[in-house]
Structure 1
Amino acid sequence: MKNKKPRKLTFVTFSQSIFLTTKYFLQNRLLSFAGSCAFSFLFSVIPLFMMIVMVLVRFLHASPKTISAIVSAMPELERYFNSESVIQSVQSIRTFSSFEIVASVFILWMARRFFASIFDSMQNIFHIQAQRKAFFNQILSFVTELVIVIIASAILFAYISLQTISSMEFFRQFPQLSFIYQGLLSGELMEILPNFLILAAVIVLYKSASGTKPSFWLCALNSLLCTSSFFVFRLIMHYFLNVSQYNLVYGVLGHVIILFMDIFFFFVFFLVFAQFLYVIQFFDELLLGELYLLPSIEEKSLGSSFKRAFFVRPDFLIAKNKSNVFSYKPGEIIYSKNDEDFSAYYIIRGSVKFQGEQASEKEKLFHRGEFFGETACILNKKREYTAIALVSTRIIKIESERFRFMVHQNPEAAKKVLKQISPFF
């Protein structure tokens, strides 16, 4: 009977990735960052909206009535500020003065805080892998704002232009084109369009703000999971949420409270899947670090037993490193004393003992879920003992460069290694 081909993605691998995502989400205090992003967003959305209206009315000469019709298709906006007053204020300025330039810079500066919060949270997630200077983050924030304003203005201007053209009698003569003004140019499109824009914005942020160059499809998958999970959660929350009670108790602040809750939970999902993106991208190193830090078999506490049982089986590493997975019979030598073998080894199954040439040297035993040979790997020294399989044993060979990289990235693993090599100094 043939053995099943090892697979990278198994239920064990998926469970380990979820565990690591939860662990680092809490460790990085991302709930606090989600609150910071939500609070900054409330102070940034209106300035950005003012910039978009200014571009449409002042530079693209869009009709104010058409802009009001577009905004009215998004009732969420009308609840929090009056678009008519914003449009009238922009129209009242006759010339492009230095005051308008200063106002534009100030608006962009107000909106900058939102993007700065996002980049700070992403930096906190990817801080080990990406080290960006604060000045670069500031520049990236301003560039992102400008890109959003330009793209949003271009989409709205194209929508306005198509509405104007389709309203001409000439086009009404062709019933084949009715799908354009009855479907694409209807108010329903404007209700759906923000969802696609949010999805696109999340993809761009995952791709650019992480600084680790994840693949586009990986970013797209996490963005889709983020937005769809949030919208399902929002539907459930609003189904059970008594909005009228908030309006009764808090008056005009009722909608603001609901809005803040929506924004906060959106950024919770945004950061959860950003952390999941990090875990997927660097799952090798993270899983290797968890394996190296597994509690020993002698530790009997509930937490230690759970963690050991949860991570002791590394399906992903076995499937990815098939050429470095070896099986040994009882008594078979893995490596001998004075061998120039600088790899580290992880025991998938079985037991290994260290044997010296002299009878007075005490034998060391290693069991399933433990590493051995990492001292020679770190110090780049010849082997001091002979490693022998006690029973039928299966191990993963970890190349020295890869093991050292894991130690360099994981402070806890570095502490353990220092304890192992301290007797040599």
Structure 2
Amino acid sequence: MTRDGFRWVVGQSAPKIESHSNAKLELLAAYLDRYFVTVSSQPQIDNIAITLVDGFSGGGRYQLFGEERPGSPLVLLEAVKRAERRLNESRRKPLILDAKFYFIDANKDAVGYLRQTLTDKGYGDDINSGRIVILRGEFEALWAEVLNGIRSRQRAGRSLFVLDQKGWNQVQFATIRTILSDLPKAEVLLTFAVDWLLSYLNEGPAFASAMAKIGIQGQQLAEYVEARGEAGYQYVIPRLLARDIQQMTGAPFFTPFFLRSQQADRNLWLVHLSKIVTARNVMVESHWTVGNTSLHRGAAGLNMLGFDPHWADGVAFDFGFDVQAQADIETAMIDQLPYRIEALERQGVPTVGHLIEGIANDTAATRDQMEASIMLLCRERQIDLVSAAGSQRRPGAKPAPANFIRLSRQLLIPGIAMPPRG
């Protein structure tokens, strides 16, 4: 057995995978399908260079309920093939996805199994040509080599790093910060076992050393330990951690949503980090696509990572990206958006694009859901949309990013503010 619990032996059946791990792979596939549609949306684009990095690749395939399931390397490879086929169905000029792959694993048996798996699946020539690079070693020891390879090949560095670590401290937040800083179009998908961290959180030196590996120490760790003794800690500590992850990675946009693990009775964070609001939106859409395997611990609306006094009473605020969550999002957005718009107006003249970027990390809503709420508020004459030329858009018109957005002048009385919430 290896430290990740999987036994890789060339010529033998692949190890078994739990259903929540399979859900990660399904979410990754859903994300990639949406990702390629988004990056190829402009018809004049005919070549997209991209690098896909799997930092904890494993052997490439698994068993689930007696059937073979592709591991993350095959999910990445098959997503590129699928995208090229689908995207070229309606194009006169073919779109070329110039993709390169790095598959990394520290276990020699996993690396050997992966090489055999890819050869069996017809990717032997890609390995020989260097389109697929298989590296044995720790991700933290090899990421700089991969980064240099991407920079030498792609100016903008369009790339996706899939970092499905076991536990929570195999990837340093400073590493992610460098990746996002050096590659403007990079995205990182990080597995983080936050429920396991909550279970093991303590004041001992061994735990402090484990947390220091990712950059959490001193006052930050003291806050977690202090919160561990309070009611509702399972909601409070992830919010402190989300704050620190965003600060330490320098990622303007992130999605700290969970994947359910019924076998372990604990849930995994699947954190998407990027510098591009559109990339975040694609990730949120993917969570809504997989539905009942995704989970958010918190309220709907624009206070996704806020603190709530009811946690002290042990009241859970979980929603599962289902029909009820959709209704809760709609209700909360209609109630809360005018207050956020009012706050933005005090700072200047906000646009729709400015508003959406400002609220992206505060909600589990997709861009379409945000725009639908804006359109409804316009129809109800609660807000106005104004074009760059100064003309008021008709109520119900789809908002454009450059449209100015403001509270309806019909509802405002000079000198009187909106009523306080609640």
Smaller-chain TM-score bracket:
under 0.3
Q: Normalization by structure 1: what TM-score? A: 0.25
* Larger CA Rg, structure 1 vs 2: 1
* Higher RCO (CA < 8 A, seq sep 6+): 1
Q: Normalization by structure 2: what TM-score? A: 0.25
Structure that is richer in helix per residue: 1
